[in-house]
Amino acid sequence: MKMQNPFPLYYSLFLFFLATATMISPSLGALGKCNPSDYKALMGIKNSLDILNTDLLSWVPNTDCCHWDGIKCDSKTNRVNDLNIFAGDTTGQISSTLGDLPYLESIVFTRFGFINGSIPQSITKLKHLKVLDLGDMSLSGPIPTFLNQLTNLTYLDLSLNKFSGSIPPNLSDLKNMGTIHLDRNRLTGSIPESFGKFTGTVPDLYLSSNKLTGPIPKSLGSLNIRYIDLSRNKLVGDASMLFNPNHDLTTHIDLSGNQLEFDLTKVKFPKNLNWLDLSHNKIFGGIPEEIKYLESLETLKIGYNKLCGKIPSGGNMQRFRSTSFFHNKCLCGVPLVSCKRK
Ligand SMILES: *[C@@H]1O[C@H](CO)[C@@H](O)[C@H](O)[C@H]1NC(C)=O
Ligand SMILES: *[C@@H]1O[C@H](CO)[C@@H](O)[C@H](O)[C@H]1NC(C)=O
Ligand SMILES: *[C@@H]1O[C@H](CO)[C@@H](O)[C@H](O)[C@H]1NC(C)=O
């Protein structure tokens, strides 16, 4: 009898060995560089979502989270410090385990439009957090006051959500803020007085398209603010305090679509103003001559008000077309109709 070729035996032994090795290896450090506690927190986030079409498909159990889509780990400590995920059509809520990623510096959730609920309070444990971008989701309820505990925050974006209630005055505690986006929500009440007293840097303020009411607090007049957008709210009364020729940082002021009512004649514009939109209000008086000397002014919209008198000419005024000025009470002169002689 001829001996069979022994190869199949060795081969199957080899296959057996291989299979056993791959079966054992998950329990022997399959997480790779991923810190087990970070892994657990991330799995908590994944499990609170109904995943359809998203970065989270790459979050496979028992693999190295530092290689998952949307995750970055610090190169020295291997702790997760950056969460930047794209969610597609995913539904669900933000898990409170988000607060168990203590080294996070940046949270950016993109296209999480179907994710609702609220911001978990556990987020206040993230003492390194600088960027919190939860824009364009379906988060609701009041904007949490506990956000003022994120002392290192520089960028906050909660725009395009369904937040209601008033703006927490305590956000002005945040000393390193560079930008606050609360626009396109359902916020009511008035702009907090405390927003005129940012103790550190003055952040760019985006509060447009809410239901904010009342007058603009006088305190805001002291801010050498770079960018302020209060458009499309229900603000009333005076806004002239926002204009100060000594505010050299101010480049963008948008107050359009409110019910503001003040005399523009005596306003002194910030020197470096680039964008001024006061359209759709009840502003009266005339346009100050000085406006023509604003070298950086590129966008001017003061239509749909109650302004009167001659539009300044010369200087930089040839930049602006009639649409900048139309639908006022009795503005006249180029580029509108010429002023009638008395
Ligand atoms: C969140 O959305 C789900 C449907 O996806 C709904 O059943 C639930 O009531 C919503 N929760 C909140 C707080 O809006
Ligand atoms: C907060 O920021 C300051 C200044 O940038 C830094 O010195 C400090 O270490 C930060 N704190 C945390 C917990 O990251
Ligand atoms: C705001 O913060 C101050 C201290 O910074 C605290 O006394 C006050 O209770 C806080 N208000 C709210 C509504 O959280």
Tokens of 20: 């056993």
Predicted local distance difference test score (pLDDT) of residue 20 = 43
Task: Decide if 288 contacts 268 (C-beta within 8 A).
Answer: yes
Does any domain span residue 233? no
Does any domain span residue 291? no
Which atom of ligand 2 lies closest to the CA of 128? Answer: 14
For ligand 1, is residue 117 a contact (CB within 6 Å)? yes
Number of domains present in the structure of the chain: 1
Which atom of ligand 1 lies closest to the CA of 118? Answer: 13
For ligand 1, is residue 141 a contact (CB within 6 Å)? no
Q: What is the CATH number of the domain that holds 109?
A: 3.80.10.10
Which atom of ligand 2 lies closest to the CA of 151? Answer: 1
Does any domain span residue 48? yes
Does any domain span residue 231? no
pTM attached to this predicted model: 0.88
**Closest ligand to residue 152's CA:** 2
Does any domain span residue 224? no
Predicted local distance difference test score (pLDDT) of residue 204 = 97
Task: Decide if 308 contacts 330 (C-beta within 8 A).
Answer: yes
256-291 burial by CB neighbour count: b if 16+ within 10 A, else e?
Answer: bbbebbbebeebebbbebbbbbbbbbebbbbbeeeb
Does any domain span residue 139? yes
Q: What is the pLDDT along the chain (342 residues), one digit of tens a residue?
A: 444 554 444 544 444 444 444 444 444 478 899 999 999 999 999 999 887 656 788 899 999 999 999 999 999 999 999 999 887 778 899 999 999 999 999 999 887 778 899 999 999 999 999 999 999 999 999 999 999 999 999 999 999 999 999 999 999 999 999 999 999 999 999 999 999 998 788 999 999 999 999 999 999 999 999 999 999 999 999 999 999 999 999 999 999 999 999 999 999 999 999 999 999 999 999 999 999 999 999 999 999 999 999 999 999 999 999 999 999 999 999 999 999 865
For ligand 2, is residue 175 a contact (CB within 6 Å)? no
User: By residue range, what is the domain housing residue 111?
Assistant: 31-211
Residue nearest to atom 12 of ligand 1 (CA): 117
Does any domain span residue 238? no
For ligand 1, is residue 113 a contact (CB within 6 Å)? no
Predicted local distance difference test score (pLDDT) of residue 266 = 92
Predicted local distance difference test score (pLDDT) of residue 341 = 65
Predicted local distance difference test score (pLDDT) of residue 1 = 42
Does any domain span residue 3? no
